[in-house]
Structure 1
């Protein structure tokens, strides 16, 4: 599993048509484009996939489309998380994991549990999951930070908790995790702007938003970092800084969908309460893409 989750993973969008139905044709196109250009694994139904506004039936259909397009070429990671532990366990128990290599499970949002509550939540997830579990810490969305001590405790106590997607935006927290983690536990960057320094510091790569638009160069940057080739990797890193800032300027995934529309992979349609990128942001994104 360690090698499967190393390198460039992408948090794939869910493309929508103008009528807000799922655009399965564009979804297949994005899968193929990424696999053909160096993406190492695909994460389904994460924040970038607008998981909170996708129905249970649609989620199954999205999985089926990605599984078919992937055709066993790269590992698939499925997002199963939330703030109702019992509901998450029920989803795990009723999911077909035949084509799924691991799950990505976000720390509970809104409820603001204590660290012990977070630990007990993931203990339940670990016990139910038939596949490896990647923890996901994103305090900017959950309103609570999963502390390093809690992550290390979970990684030590449960064999199938194999990695964390860390997205607190703190290099110090990344350093703490990398320094104190069990040997085979993976620290994966969830911050596109920090993906390179995290990987150079001993991380396993990134689960990226921008990577799905420019997989060839972003994957090259991450793999240079895994080889310790910092100087070459930073040349690519600086090429991405402006677009990373732009895609998160208003909301995710409106920004990345504007990029994907510009490169003819899907429409820039999002579901409420999100709205499409403003015209001024789209202009800046288009200028970047035209000159990239």
Structure 2
């Protein structure tokens, strides 16, 4: 799965003032990333506000991204949830022919046991016709999928090819890297830890921040893949402040504030999220202008 090595970006879903999807802005963000060295695009993840997107809107977003991308970059589609049957139905009823993989979040709210995680992804694996990236994000799901569960899935199912690990737990990353099958990819879901994980043997990142600074962020990860730590950390240091800022209140309000400053989309989010506060937007604007 070399197509999933490097910098993937978790695309936002831009909205107009009336809260409808802004497809022109979405197309511009995709073009911006294609032109500035992003390695692959992820549709309908957490940053895309997938939980407040309707089925038809999701299909329309896919159409816009595919048309704009025109086969230039690999695409990953978010299909996950805490209703295993519903996830399976969506996989069966979605045309996945243009996607390199699906990104499937660990079940949230229900707080399954480790065996529950395993059986959920086992059921998905048995019906999914393309590779699967597991997505562990305990800060949102309320339950951590432990490394032994992730690695059990990696060893038992050939189409489970990677994990987007977003527990912001460096020790957990190291446990995964130590014991993973040779070709299984450990992808950082934490922008602040992405370089360190890559240097330790990870396969890169699915980034929130990367879509706003794709050239330098992708360069940083590429240097990490090449083991050029000193040069890579010079770029990493430039991103420390803005990484903290975009996650200070909520995601994706923070990154949308950055994208608004770059004239790529408005900072509008759907409830229950609210836009970044004036104070945070002021600090974000100052950073972007200085950058």
Please give the range of the TM-score, normalised by the shorter of the 2 chains: over 0.9
Q: Distance in 2 between matches of 1:170 and 1:21?
A: 36
What's the RMSD between the two structures over aligned residues? 0.4
Q: Distance in 2 between matches of 1:21 and 1:171?
A: 38
Q: Distance in 2 between matches of 1:149 and 1:209?
A: 27
Q: Distance in 1 between matches of 2:257 and 2:68?
A: 23
Question: Does 1:214 find its partner at 2:200?
Answer: no
Q: Deviation per CA, 1:129-151: give whole Å up to 9, x if none.
A: 11000000000000000000001
Report the counterpart of residue 106 of structure 2 in structure 1: 107
| Aligned structure 1 segments of 4 or more residues deviating by more than 2 angstroms | none
SS for the counterpart of 1:31 is helix
Question: Does 1:272 find its partner at 2:237?
Answer: no
Q: Distance in 2 between matches of 1:40 and 1:76?
A: 10
Q: Deviation per CA, 1:95-147: give whole Å up to 9, x if none.
A: 00121110000000000000000000000111111100000000000000000
Question: Does 1:19 find its partner at 2:18?
Answer: yes
Report the counterpart of residue 28 of structure 2 in structure 1: 29
Q: Distance in 2 between matches of 1:133 and 1:127?
A: 11
Question: Does 1:235 find its partner at 2:204?
Answer: no
The alignment of Structure 1 onto Structure 2 pairs a total of residues equal to: 291
Report the counterpart of residue 247 of structure 1 in structure 2: 246
Unaligned runs of 5+ in 1: none
Q: Distance in 1 between matches of 2:128 and 2:33?
A: 27
TM-score normalised by the chain length of structure 1: 0.99
Q: Distance in 1 between matches of 2:181 and 2:100?
A: 21
Report the counterpart of residue 124 of structure 2 in structure 1: 125
Question: Does 1:53 find its partner at 2:52?
Answer: yes
SS for the counterpart of 1:207 is strand
SS for the counterpart of 2:134 is strand
SS for the counterpart of 1:193 is coil
Report the counterpart of residue 88 of structure 2 in structure 1: 89
In the TM superposition, residue 158 of structure 1 has moved relative to its aligned partner by: 0.1
Report the counterpart of residue 98 of structure 1 in structure 2: 97
Report the counterpart of residue 260 of structure 1 in structure 2: 259
In the TM superposition, residue 201 of structure 1 has moved relative to its aligned partner by: 0.1
Report the counterpart of residue 169 of structure 2 in structure 1: 170
TM-score normalised by the chain length of structure 2: 1.00
Q: Distance in 2 between matches of 1:74 and 1:130?
A: 20
Report the counterpart of residue 290 of structure 1 in structure 2: 289
Q: Distance in 1 between matches of 2:72 and 2:126?
A: 28
Unaligned runs of 5+ in 2: none
Q: Distance in 1 between matches of 2:2 and 2:41?
A: 14
